[in-house]
Amino acid sequence: MEGVISYEGFYAIHDHMPGSDGALRIGGTAVFRTGGWTAELRLHDKRGPTGINPFILYLDLVMAPPPDDQSVTQEVTPFDLPEFRLEDPELEYQEVHVSVVNSEDAPPETLKVQHPE
């Protein structure tokens, strides 16, 4: 089942500015074909392949389609993902790769991590 039309405003920021909390923050908006969908970012399921480059963070975008018995609006619906935070990461991640779970949708593009100082 496919639900996403597009992804908008995805970002990955590891803020090193004085006074910041040093967290890596990732977020964005999934634009769905209908209402009723939700989604969230989670650390990649460790049972699958995670890659060999330690400076790439792997996340899962877990989709939740509307229940079959739920009435949904038949209009394009943007859904702002709850911001994913990795508190004080041990590594200086350079990229974030996202895999989609529970949907046949393509993932968002690979994100380059911004490092404001």
Return the pLDDT at 35: 92
10-residue block means of pLDDT along the chain (117 residues)?
Answer: 91 90 95 94 76 88 91 92 93 94 93 93
Return the pLDDT at 47: 61
Write down the domain spans for the chain.
4-112
Question: What torsion do the CA atoms of 16, 87, 83, 40 make, to the nearest 10 degrees?
Answer: 140
Beta carbons within 10 angstroms of residue 17's beta carbon = 10
Say how many CA atoms lie within 13 Å of 115 toward its Cβ: 7
Terminus-to-terminus CA distance in the chain, angstroms?
Answer: 42
